[in-house]
Amino acid sequence: MKIWHPYTQEATEVAPVEVERGEGAYLYTRGGGRLIDAISSWWVNLHGHAHPLIAEAIAAQAARLEQVIFAGFTHQPAEELASRLSKHLPPALSRIFFSDNGSTAVEVAMKVAVQYWHNIGRPEKHRIVALENAYHGDTIGAMSVSADSPFTAAFHKLRIPFLRVGSAADLERLLESRHREIAGMIVEPLVQGAGGMVMYSPELLSHYRAICAQHDVLFIADEVFTGFGRTGRMFACEHARIVPDMMCLSKGLTGGFMPLAATICTEEVYQAFWNEDRSLAFFHGHSFSGNPLGCAAAIASLKIFENEPVFGRIATIEKIHSERLARLERTPAVSAVRMLGTIAAVELNAPDAGYLSELRVRLYPFFIRHGVLLRPLGNVVYTVPPYVITSEDLHYVYDVIEKALSL
């Protein structure tokens, strides 16, 4: 049997690179090569590959309890993770529902939002609003709430109809006329990742939040990408000083070691499900919901935040990003640069701008040949490095980008 790889047109791409081991920001490939992982392996890794503390925590947990059904059962790693996470989140976010990847965290949030209104006797509130250019995952629900793109083209007829807005004025107009049918709004706070690292201001985020509150619409912050320090704060919502009704977490939750996700909601949302009437329960779960190995990895990752100068590392990355982006901005090939925290993006001039831009076809192998894993989103080159990347290596990543643009 042969493997079918994700997000890969195997007819045109070279064979996948075989990785034998990872350490810090490096991936060691078969045949003795080494790559700097400048995108944290799809934005998941925080403290470096094979970090011994996380690896040991997983091994110890595997020797004790690797997995148990999470309906009717609980375990120490899940309980400890819930209590440790709550120290990093606003107290209003008090109930955590575990799943196993970013898309499922989003599916859960949307289903909870819709069932919340159903359970409190307002079933007509069943629609979800999303932002233009959004990306929330690849399952049918998460894909439906994501913007039209080459990823969704084949599924046009299958996607659930969602409402879409491009500005606060749009949202205000929509909610004024249709709030009676709208259950919730989902946003990627401050950074639309897969949409090309498009950024917007904390003021706009807090405006969206306020408009939703005004119109009885639940506000869902999808922090799957932005969570755990990526934007320079633990969570992107902190920049705007907002508390959403629900938050979706995954990717960096386990330091990038294990598939684990969480949808966290307020007590008010949870209470709509807590009832003598058993039919009002949330009938959703996955085989690996709350997997103990994932929880052990997440606890170890949070301990690293507590015991190591993680935000100092993030500040160093930010400084290098801003220095190097300022230089790149003056390059003729560059149409725009953007950054927030550890996320930096360089948008290139291209006649075919967008995810399928030919630039990507040329740039990706160039970067790999130069020892750097960068996976441009079409004509947008971005880096989101693990926080342990050295200054020298991050400068080298930028040197390679500059070299590619000078060709």
Residues within the interface to ligand PLP (CB under 6 A): 101-103, 106, 135-137, 188, 193-194, 222, 224-225, 250
**Among candidate residues 86, 92, 85, the one with its CA nearest the CA of residue 295:** 85
**Residue 124 token pair:** 């007509």
> How many Å apart are CA 348 and CA 325, to the nearest integer?
13
DSSP 210-232: HHHHHTT-EEEEE-TTTTTTTTS
**Residue 65 token pair:** 């309890």
Q: How far is CA 252 from CA 27, 84, 102, 261, 275, in A?
A: 18, 15, 10, 9, 34
Query: What string of H, E and C letters represents the secondary structure of 20-78?
Result: EEEEECEEEECCCEEEEECCHHHHCCCCCECCHHHHHHHHHHHHHCCCCCCCCCCCHHH
Q: Are 240 and 90 in contact (CB under 8 A)?
A: no
| Cβ neighbours of residue 382 closer than 8 Å, sequence gap 6 or more | 39, 197, 343, 344, 345, 346, 374, 376
β-pairing, 372-373 vs 19-23, is unpaired
Give me the residues paired with residue 222 across strands.
Answer: 248
**Among candidate residues 237, 229, 283, the one with its CA nearest the CA of residue 253:** 229
At closest approach, how far in Å is the CB of 32 from ligand PLP? 31
* Shortest-Cβ-distance residue relative to ligand PLP: 102
- Catalytic positions are 7, 135, 222, 251
Q: How far is CA 65 from CA 59, 73, 260, 293, in A?
A: 10, 13, 16, 8
**Residue 27 token pair:** 């991936």
Q: What is the distance in angstroms between the CA of the first residue and the CA of the last residue of the chain? A: 40
